[in-house]
Structure 1
Amino acid sequence: MDELHKRGHRILILTSKQENESDQPGEENIPYSVNRGLSSRVRARSIVDKLTRNPNMHYFGLFLTFMRELALDFRDLSRLESQIKSFQPDILYLGHITVFSRALMPFLAEVGVPLVYDEGGAGLIDCWQERGIWYKFVAMDFTRYSIVNFFQNFFCGLVNRLSANHLKRKWMWPQNFPVFFNSRLNMRNATAVGIPVHNAQVIHSGLDLNLFSFRLRQSLDVPLVIFLPGRIEPRKGQLDGVHLLLALREHGINAKMIIAGQEGDKNYYQKLLLEISAFQLDEQITILSMVDHKELAGFYHQADICFFPSYQQAGLSRIPLEAMACGCIIFSYGNEGSDEVIHNGSTGFIVAPQDFGEAVSKITELLASPGQVQEVSVRAREFTEGNFSMPVYVDKIEKLISDTVKPG
């Protein structure tokens, strides 16, 4: 949004308050309007939700949840309509909407303003499959029970009228709106579940190359420094980093590892600590809490290798791109869209999950071939400059928006 604003576009962000108010510092300095008037359904979880898990209070909890969601839907959709009328946008740019009302997409199906959806994970699939408590109620078939069926029809009609047609009597999906995915993996995932994405295209994420500056690798140093960033949880594969370091030690290669990331799974984090201790790698592995984005480049510059052992089958992680931009040699399993941005053997290396023998073999080869290290480092930077710079990315977004507002 910052880059689009710099190009003269008028922007209004409509979103929710963050759970931790300190996560949004300096917002008053943002040069465009940010309205945090929507409710986050993550924030809405409370004692009411706990009642639904109590066998004795389950149905009472469901009723309270239903009424709460209706009230929030009434309020949020009314606020959204009001903002659309006052701001008069040429386009509605959607992204990260899964925490908002599940009635949002049916509402937008009839709003009369062009839409574009920015899909960076599995949010579109979630909105398509999980339609919310109101539309679950609307879809229930009570035709065998005339009194219940009458009540359902009466109540649906009443809610529809009271909400000024914001809450529909039938779930619907906006037609023929353009969706752009940040990876081919995400697009395949969406089409596999039947989402109608006829105008879909892939626009890989952009990177601030001034922030992630280049440092040429003349060779791999010994001891090797391996950087493994990412939220600490099973799908990010930090335990595989421990096993890679163990395999390197068994082959006589001295190496150290820096694991940097927020604790996402307490049990997994404890298991990680136990494995490090069990293999006596406490002196070789450093675990840091989540690193500030502006400090990441320093870690990529410090490291010889960035190891990306993700098992996540959605999204496009920026970690491989950041490492490549900084000249740090990337080793990846190819998941989380990384096989779309790494040319194996040219701009980085893709190894089979948990094939530590293959990884050690390639690292051994690089240790003996400084020239190859330099070539991979330079090609990786050139590739990110040509394909993933922020100006290149924003050019593509701007064209998509322009084509949507003025078709043809």
Structure 2
Amino acid sequence: MNKLNILFISHASGSGGAEQCLFDLIAHINDEKIKVYVNTPYRDHLTAELDKINIPYFVSFTDQWIAPIDKWGIKHFFNFIVGLRSRIWSIQSKIKEHNIDLVYTNSLTCIDGAIAAWRMEVPHIWHIHENLIGNHSIKSYLPTQLTYKIANFFCKNFIAPSNALAHILTNPTIKVHTIFNGIDLKKFKYKTNDRIKTELGLSTSTHIVGQIGSIIPIKGVITFIDSAEKVLATTLNKDLAFVLVGSGSKEYTAVIQNKVAKSPFRQHFHLLGQRQDIPQIINELNIVILASNSEGLPRVVIEAMAAGKPVVATRCGGPEEIIVDGETGFLVPVKDAQAIANKVTYLLEHPNQAQAMGEKGRLRAQKLFSMDQYIQNIEKVIIETVSQTHPNSQ
């Protein structure tokens, strides 16, 4: 088989879950089979990481037809439409110049690469990380079902990180591949050195409960804080810290900061903001919470399990395919702070059971969510998609 030239389109260049999945794929993909090119809309964390591994990339603005709710509106839609032609031409020129065999868009929110690939008669794969149904943090400019129909038109294959999301995308004419996210298990060492406790001025005996993710409403940040307050109001052990790791808009971050400042337990909360040392932080947590309202396949749950940490997560889609309820963690209803608090309290009061859950979770992460499996499965879809379009490429 000839070496394939693949153009990966990233909708963002930050350190979000979708960008992390893309970087892991690019960093580990078989460079004897695939030549990687990346298009990213601006310079940030992703481009800095690509520089470290000498991956060529283009900084060329792409816009979103499914926009963050704080950007969504007439002004953004007008700018999206006005700039669409030039953005598509920019991607088309890269397809032509580098003899691109396939375009791989890493988020449903960005359609520019899909249209460019269609115009150049190059196959296109859409790797979907977001669920539009019930998602109040992003919004399409079109009705949801019409959005999915248009996505189907511009796509040869979908990749979804969970069966729940794949079910939403299912279409008789489009093949949907469920490929679980993979992580680098070596980063999660199942041990701690108390560095974060020292940074926060905590004692070595303090138990830390944390949530890691964007500070946006869909991540259930308010629910996390409410559940923490319920734990602190009832538990006899007050040597507890609750940490939030992640960033969001100034407006919503201010809402969260204000809520914590008014809490009677405010001294137990620590808002760490955006961090680049997530594996180290997870390694020091005793319990990981995911209080989201909707998720595809949250990396942080897999990462927590890889580190041997019990997880309390909402039944919001992807977590139900990661966690074995009562064995590797607990699943609770969405927006139920009391249910989260009950499970966290149980784990704090039963450390042996918590440790056993963490160990079972670590074994499950090793079995189902390895980086090797993730890369091999995506490489297979890429090669099959190109072969179906251009049989002589093999």
Q: TM-score, normalised by structure 1?
A: 0.70
1:298 aligned residue (265, 280, 283) = 280
Q: Which residue of 1 aligns with 2:161?
A: 182
Contact 1:240/1:354 (<8 A) preserved: yes
Q: What are the residue-to-residue correspondences of 1:82-97 with 2, within 5 Å?
A: 82-96=93-107
- State the SS of the aligned residue for 2:28: helix
Q: 1:186: Cα distance to partner?
A: 2.2
**In structure 1, which of residues 257, 277, 280 is the aligned counterpart of residue 261 of structure 2?**
277
* 2:48 aligned counterpart, secondary structure: coil
Q: Does 1:393 align with 2:369?
A: no
2:218 equivalent to 1:261? no
Cα distance, 1:21 vs structure 2 = 5.5
Question: 1:240 is matched by which residue type in structure 2?
Answer: T
Q: Which residue of 2 aligns with 1:225?
A: 208
Mapped partners of 1:241, 1:109: distance in 2: 43
- Give the paired residue count: 338
RMSD value, Cα: 3.8
| Distance of 2:381 and 2:283 partners within structure 1 | 35
Contact kept, 8 Å, 2:206 with 2:241, in 1: the verdict is yes
Supply the AA of the counterpart residue of 2:103: L
CA distance in 2, matches of 1:185, 1:307: 20
Deviation at 1:400, TM superposition (A): 1.4
What per-residue deviation string (whole Å, max 9, x for no partner) do you get for residues 191-226 of structure 1? 4xxx6663112111111112222239xxxx964311
The worse-fitting range, judged by mean Cα deviation, of 394-403 and 268-277 is 268-277
Tell me which structure has the larger Cα radius of gyration: 1
SS at structure 2 position matched to 1:298: helix
1:12 aligns with 2:12: no
Q: Which of 39, 46, 58 is 2:61 aligned to?
A: 39
Please state how far the C-alpha of 1:231 moved relative to its aligned partner: 1.8
Distance 1:280 1:367 in 2: 21
Q: Whole-Å Cα distance in 2 between the matches of residues 264 and 97 of structure 1?
A: 21
Q: What corresponds to 1:137 in structure 2?
A: none
Equivalent of 1:240, from 206, 212, 223?
223
Provide the rounded CA distance (Å) in 2 between the counterparts of 1:76 and 1:274: 40
What SS does the corresponding residue of 2:57 show, helix, strand or coil? strand
**Equivalences for residues 98-109 of structure 1 within 5 A:** 98-99=109-110, 101=112, 105-109=114-118
Deviations 1:326-368 (A, max 9, x none): 1121111122521111111111111223444444443444345
DSSP 3-state at the match of 1:206: coil
Residues of 2 paired with 1:90 and 1:188: CA distance?
Answer: 28
> 1:112 aligns to what SS in structure 2?
coil
* CA displacement at 1:50 relative to structure 2: 12
What is the identity, as a one-letter code, of the residue corresponding to 1:310? S
Aligned to 2:13: none
Letter matched to residue 351 of structure 1: V
Which of residues 107, 116, 125 is equivalent to 2:125?
Answer: 116
Runs of 4 or more above 6 Å deviation: 49-53
Please state how far the C-alpha of 1:264 moved relative to its aligned partner. Answer: 2.7
- Residues 20-66 of structure 1: CA distance to partner in whole angstroms, max 9, x if unpaired? 56763365444332123x43336xx9xxx99966xxxxxxx99xx58
Q: Distance in 1 between matches of 2:87 and 2:303?
A: 37
Q: Shift of residue 87 of structure 1? A: 2.3
Q: C-alpha distance in 2, partners of 1:185/1:315?
A: 8
8 Å contact 1:110–1:174 — kept in the other structure? no
In 2, Cα distance between the equivalents of 1:50 and 1:389? 36
| Shift of residue 88, structure 1, vs aligned partner | 2.3
Label 1:24 to 1:230 Cα distance change in 2 as closer, same or farther (>3 A).
same
CA offset at residue 121 of structure 1? Answer: 1.6
In structure 2, relative to structure 1, the CA distance for the partners of 1:393 and 1:289 (3 Å cut) is same
SS at match of 1:200: strand
* Amino acid paired to 1:41: D
Query: Is the 8 Å Cα contact of residues 106 and 173 (structure 1) preserved in structure 2?
Result: no
The alpha carbon displacement at 1:16 in A equals 4.2
For residues 22 and 358 of structure 1, what CA distance do their matches in structure 2 show? 36
Structure-2 separation of matches of 1:210 and 1:51: 43
Q: Distance in 2 between matches of 1:27 and 1:3?
A: 12
Give 5+ residue unaligned stretches, structure 2: 1-25, 143-149, 193-203
- 1:200-219 equivalences under 5 Å are 200-215=176-191
Query: Alpha-carbon deviations, 1:150-200, whole Å to 9, x = none?
Result: xxxxxxxxxxxxxxxxxxxxx896477111111223223334xxx666311
Give the 5 Å matches for 1:54-203: 65=78, 69=81, 72-96=83-107, 98-99=109-110, 101=112, 105-109=114-118, 111-122=120-131, 130=141, 174=153, 177-191=156-170, 198-203=174-179
Alpha-carbon separation, structure 2, partners of 1:7 and 1:328: 37
Equivalent residue of 2:292, what SS?
Answer: coil
Aligned to 1:384: 365
Question: Partners in 1 of 2:286 and 2:62 — Cα distance?
Answer: 41
- What secondary structure sits across from 2:186 in the alignment? coil
- Determine which structure has the larger strand proportion and give its number: 2
Note if 1:327 corresponds to 2:308: yes
**Identity of counterpart residues, as a percentage?**
19
Matched residue type, 2:187: L
3-state SS of paired residue (1:406) = helix
Distance in 2, Cα, partners of 1:263 & 1:279: 20
Contact 2:223 2:336 (C-alpha < 8 Å) held by counterparts? no
